[in-house]
Amino acid sequence: MVILVTGGAGFIGSHTCVELLQNGYEVVVVDNHSNSSPGALDEVQKLAGLPLTAYQVDLRDRKALAEVFDAHPIDAVVHFAAKKAVGESIQIPLDYFDINIGGTTSLLRAMHEHGVYQLVFSSSCSIYGDSQKVPMAEEAPAGPTNPYALSKWTCEQLLAETCSRYPQFTVVSLRYFNPMGAHPSGRIGEDPRGVPHNVMPYLTQVAVGRLERLSVFGGDYPTPDGSAIRDYIHVMDVADGHRLAVEHLGEEPGMRVFNLGTGAGVSVLELVEAFSAACGKEIPYQVVDRRPGDVARLIADSSRVEREWGWRTTRNLAAMCDDAWRFQRLNPNGYDG
Ligand SMILES: NC(=O)c1ccc[n+]([C@@H]2O[C@H](COP(=O)([O-])OP(=O)(O)OC[C@H]3O[C@@H](n4cnc5c(N)ncnc54)[C@H](O)[C@@H]3O)[C@@H](O)[C@H]2O)c1
User: Omega of the bond prior to 135 within 30 degrees of 0, cis?
Assistant: yes
Instruction: Say yes or no: CB of residue 81 within 6 Å of ligand 1.
Output: yes
Contact 260, 300 (CB under 8 A): yes
Instruction: Say yes or no: CB of residue 82 within 6 Å of ligand 1.
Output: yes
Residue 82: pLDDT band by 50, 70, 90 thresholds?
A: very high
Q: Distance between CA 95 and CA 102 in Å, rounded?
A: 10
C-alpha radius of gyration, the chain, whole number: 19
The helix/strand/coil state of 218 is: coil
Residue 150: pLDDT band by 50, 70, 90 thresholds?
A: very high
Q: Distance between CA 121 and CA 172 in Å, rounded?
A: 6
Which residues are bridge partners to 79 per DSSP? Answer: 6, 121
> Ligand 1, from 5, 36, 80: best to mutate by most atoms within 8 Å of Cβ?
80
pLDDT at 132 over 90: no
> Ligand 1, from 4, 5, 6, 11: best to mutate by most atoms within 8 Å of Cβ?
11
Q: What is the 3-state secondary structure (H, E, C) of 183-215?
A: CCCCCCCCCCCCCCCCHHHHHHHHHCCCCCCEE
- pLDDT given for residue 28 in this prediction: 99
CA of 222 to the centre of ligand 1 (A): 30
Residues with active-site annotation: 148
Atom number of ligand 1 nearest to Cα 192: 20
Contact 83, 128 (CB under 8 A): no
Sheet holding 229-230, edge to edge: 266-267, 229-230, 297-298
Atom number of ligand 1 nearest to Cα 14: 16
Q: Distance between CA 17 and CA 22 in Å, rounded?
A: 8
pLDDT at 131 over 90: no
Residue 72: pLDDT band by 50, 70, 90 thresholds?
A: very high
Q: Please determine, looking at this structure, whether the domain spanning 2-181+232-261 carries the CATH number 3.40.50.720.
A: yes
Residue 130: pLDDT band by 50, 70, 90 thresholds?
A: confident
Query: At 274, which amino acid appears?
Result: A
Instruction: Say yes or no: CB of residue 12 within 6 Å of ligand 1.
Output: yes
Report helix angle 103-113 to 62-71, nearest 10.
Answer: 40
- The predicted-structure confidence for 286-324, as pLDDT tens digits, reads as follows 999 999 989 999 999 999 999 999 999 999 999 999 999
Instruction: Say yes or no: CB of residue 99 within 6 Å of ligand 1.
Output: yes
CA nearest 313: which of 201, 196, 190, 179?
179
- pLDDT given for residue 336 in this prediction: 84
Q: Distance between CA 179 and CA 203 in Å, rounded?
A: 14
Mean pLDDT of 316-337: 95
| DSSP-H helix ranges across the chain | 11-22, 38-48, 62-71, 86-91, 93-96, 103-113, 147-165, 199-207, 235-248, 268-279, 303-309, 317-330
| 259, 261, 262, 267: CA torsion to nearest 10 | -130
Mean pLDDT (the chain) is: 97
- pLDDT given for residue 4 in this prediction: 99
pLDDT at 86 over 90: yes
Q: Distance between CA 88 and CA 218 in Å, rounded?
A: 17
Q: Which residues contact 193 (CB under 8 A, 6 or more apart)?
A: 34, 35, 36, 37
Instruction: Say yes or no: CB of residue 159 within 6 Å of ligand 1.
Output: no
- The predicted-structure confidence for 208-250, as pLDDT tens digits, reads as follows 999 999 999 999 999 999 999 999 999 999 999 999 999 999 8
- The predicted-structure confidence for 265-290, as pLDDT tens digits, reads as follows 999 999 999 999 999 999 999 999 99
Q: Distance between CA 110 and CA 55 in Å, rounded?
A: 15
Q: How far apart are the first and last CA of the chain?
A: 34
Atom number of ligand 1 nearest to Cα 84: 43
Sign (positive or negative) of CA dihedral 315, 317, 320, 323 = negative
Atom number of ligand 1 nearest to Cα 58: 32
pLDDT at 58 over 80: yes
Q: Distance between CA 134 and CA 131 in Å, rounded?
A: 7
CA of 84 to the centre of ligand 1 (A): 6
CA nearest 73: which of 1, 17, 169?
1
Strands 285-288 and 232-234: unpaired
Instruction: Say yes or no: CB of residue 164 within 6 Å of ligand 1.
Output: no
CA of 228 to the centre of ligand 1 (A): 23
Q: Whose CA is nearest to atom 26 of ligand 1?
A: 81
pTM over 0.85: yes
CA nearest 250: which of 120, 108, 80, 124?
120
Give residue limits of the domains in the chain.
2-181+232-261
pLDDT at 142 over 90: yes
- The predicted-structure confidence for 91-106, as pLDDT tens digits, reads as follows 999 999 999 999 999 9
- pLDDT given for residue 133 in this prediction: 86
